[in-house]
Amino acid sequence: MGLLIDESALERVEVVKGPYSVLYGSQAIGGIVNFITKKGESPDSLYHLN
């Protein structure tokens, strides 16, 4: 597909066949490939500003 994606950042890849233009736009007439990335880690410290 010509995409440069760091595989270690992926949680999963969803491949959905069929017309999904309602959810993903008019270019999704044959299906979609949805790359789900991992959630970021929580910072060790939280800061609150008042």
pLDDT (tens digit, 9 = 90+) per residue, 21-38? 677 777 777 888 889 998
Query: Which stretch of 12-16, 17-21, 28-32, 39-43 has the lowest confidence by average pLDDT?
Result: 39-43
**Are 37 and 11 a contacting pair, CB within 8 Å?**
yes
State pTM to two decimals.
0.57
pLDDT bin (cut points 50, 70, 90) of residue 1 is: low
DSSP for 1-50?
------GGGEEEEEEEES--HHHH-TT-SSEEEEEEEPPPPPPSS-----
* Domain ranges within the chain, ordered by starting residue: 7-37
pLDDT of residue 13: 92
pLDDT of residue 40: 74
